[in-house]
């Protein structure tokens, strides 16, 4: 789940030494929404609900607890994931475009503002160029 949120592999010797182990590097960010948003995969282009990010960070933190007895059961993990999935994105603000009102989310999602080379995962970059 942490790999999906960040777009990074768990172990990557190509990253700086302090960031080579994704779990160790990301763990301090899981309890702070600003820090958590800072490690999110840029390919997501902020198309996710903030409340979902908070809940996912909490779930990841619980699953990574050093004491196995404190980790959630798979039943609780599934229930948390279903709860996260039910969270809907709220439009950030309304914008007038050619006389039509639309949310900023709609324009970002369907406009020409997609970034092609923003993904941080070296694996994804290799797949994109056909290596």
For residue range 29-87, list pLDDT tens digits in order. 998 889 998 999 988 878 888 899 999 999 999 999 999 999 999 999 999 999 999 98
pLDDT value of position 117: 40
The pTM of this model reads: 0.65
Alpha carbons 26 and 61: distance in angstroms, whole number: 10
Q: What are phi and psi of 114, to 5 degrees?
A: -80, 135
Q: How many CB atoms lie within 10 A of CB 8?
A: 23
Region 96-101 average pLDDT: 56
Tokens of 73: 């059961």
pLDDT value of position 48: 85
Residue 1 pLDDT greater than 80, yes or no? yes
pLDDT value of position 110: 47
Residues in the chain: 131
Mean model confidence pLDDT for the chain: 78
Residue 102 pLDDT greater than 60, yes or no? no
pLDDT value of position 50: 86
Q: How many CB atoms lie within 10 A of CB 51?
A: 14
Handedness of CA 14, 18, 23, 26 (dihedral sign): negative
pLDDT value of position 44: 82
Look at residues 17, 23, 24 and name the one whose alpha carbon lies nearest to residue 5: 23
Rg (CA), the chain: 17
């Amino acid at each position: 789940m942490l790999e999906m949120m960040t777009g990074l592999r768990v172990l990557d010797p190509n990253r700086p030494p302090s960031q080579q182990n994704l779990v160790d590097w990301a763990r301090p960010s899981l309890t702070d929404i600003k820090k958590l948003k800072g490690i999110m995969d840029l390919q997501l282009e902020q198309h996710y609900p903030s409340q979902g990010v908070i809940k996912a960070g909490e779930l990841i933190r619980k699953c990574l607890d050093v004491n196995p007895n404190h980790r959630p059961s798979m039943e609780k993990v599934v229930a948390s994931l279903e709860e996260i999935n039910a969270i809907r994105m709220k439009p950030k603000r309304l914008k007038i475009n050619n006389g039509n009102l639309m949310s900023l989310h709609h324009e970002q999602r369907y406009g020409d503002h997609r970034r092609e080379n923003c993904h941080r995962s070296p694996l994804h970059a290799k797949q994109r160029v056909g290596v």
